[in-house]
């Protein structure tokens, strides 16, 4: 596996690459880096050139001042594929990586062979009412207030991130120590946190971008919606009315961080889907 930085869309994107074959672009979420995919990359790399970047502002990618809406993140992904000489890719996204993966497939269907999205919502699209019955998760509001969370959490990053890493696994035990350490290192410091929370602060703009696309066109690329705990089948319900070809699965006994919590079960879905089986 190689890890390096690529100049794309005006920023330097840190990216891990493994394998040969058709491209598979993997977009992580919060509080992750590309390493959220580490347990599925070796298997996918047997048949694909796996491209796993750190999203804008996160991990080893440029701490940009702006551009945290999903349209810009999708543009980052297109620019990265261009820089790497990949005209088309299978695309997967989890958590914060799901909305830009979805928008990428909507706006650039010729660049996306297949789309796999998991454990997130497609913005404000109908279908997630049951999941949102009690309101959005509490941290959306906390992260959304400009300047607040990064100052409140400075010096306490590890304790805060451990909440997400433990609750994101079915057992509550969290992720492997080396992965935890990498995630905490990536999100330590006020500037790192500012960039992380900038994704949440752009949710209003991002939601409008998603709603506009869904009103204008259908999702024409084959799509796979994967749920676990807590999102379940909410994403599948959102995509079903606008997707031409959609399959949905909920992985039982699995926490939010699917690639680290149940990598075998995830591969059992991704490998045949990406192969076109």
pTM to 2 decimal places: 0.98
CA angle 164, 168, 169 (to 5 degrees): 135
| Largest Cα–Cα separation, the chain | 49
All structural domains of the chain:
2-132+205-275 (3.40.50.1820)
Chain-centre distance of CA 264, in angstroms?
A: 19
Going from the C-alpha of 233 to that of each of 79, 214, 250, 271, 274, the distances in angstroms are: 31, 19, 6, 21, 21
Per the DSSP assignment, residues forming a β-bridge with 226 are 118, 249
CA–CA distance from 276 to each of 22, 33, 111, 226, 263 (Å)?
A: 12, 27, 16, 17, 20
The rounded distance, in Å, linking the Cα atoms of 81 and 211 is 25
Per-residue pLDDT of the chain in tens (277 residues, 90 and over written 9): 999 999 999 999 999 999 999 999 999 999 999 999 999 999 999 999 999 999 999 999 999 999 999 999 999 999 999 999 999 999 999 999 999 999 999 999 999 999 999 999 999 999 999 999 999 999 999 999 999 999 999 999 999 999 999 999 999 999 999 999 999 999 999 999 999 999 999 999 999 999 999 999 999 999 999 999 999 999 999 999 999 999 999 999 999 999 999 999 999 999 999 998 6
Structure token pair of residue 240? 């079903």
Closest CA to 194 of 254, 269, 126, 143: 143
CB 27 within 8 A of CB 97: yes
């Amino acid at each position: 596996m190689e890890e390096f930085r690529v100049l794309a869309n005006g920023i330097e994107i840190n990216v891990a690459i493994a394998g040969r074959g058709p491209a598979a672009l993997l977009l992580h979420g919060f509080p992750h880096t590309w390493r959220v995919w580490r347990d599925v990359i070796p298997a996918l790399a047997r048949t694909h050139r796996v491209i796993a970047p750190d999203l804008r502002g996160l991990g080893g990618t440029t701490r940009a001042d702006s551009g945290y809406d999903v349209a810009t993140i999708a543009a980052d992904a297109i620019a990265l594929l261009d820089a790497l000489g990949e005209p088309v890719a299978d695309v997967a996204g989890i958590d914060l990586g799901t909305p830009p993966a979805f928008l990428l497939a909507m706006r650039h269907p010729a660049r996306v062979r297949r789309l796999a999205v998991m454990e997130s919502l497609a913005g404000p699209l109908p279908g997630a009412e049951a999941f949102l019955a009690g309101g959005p998760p509490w941290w959306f509001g906390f992260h959304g207030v400009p300047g607040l969370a990064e100052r409140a959490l400075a010096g306490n990053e590890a304790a805060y991130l451990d909440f997400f890493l433990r609750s994101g696994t079915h057992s509550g035990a969290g992720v492997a120590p080396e992965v935890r350490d990498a995630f905490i290192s990536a999100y330590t410091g006020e500037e790192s946190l500012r960039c992380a929370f900038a994704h949440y602060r752009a949710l209003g703009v991002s939601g409008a971008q998603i709603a506009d696309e869904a009103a204008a066109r259908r999702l024409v690329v084959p799509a796979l919606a994967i749920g676990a705990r807590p999102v379940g089948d909410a994403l599948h319900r959102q995509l079903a009315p606008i997707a031409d070809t959609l399959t949905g699965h909920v992985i039982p006994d699995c926490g939010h961080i699917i690639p680290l919590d149940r990598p075998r079960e995830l591969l059992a879905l991704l490998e045949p889907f990406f192969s076109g089986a």
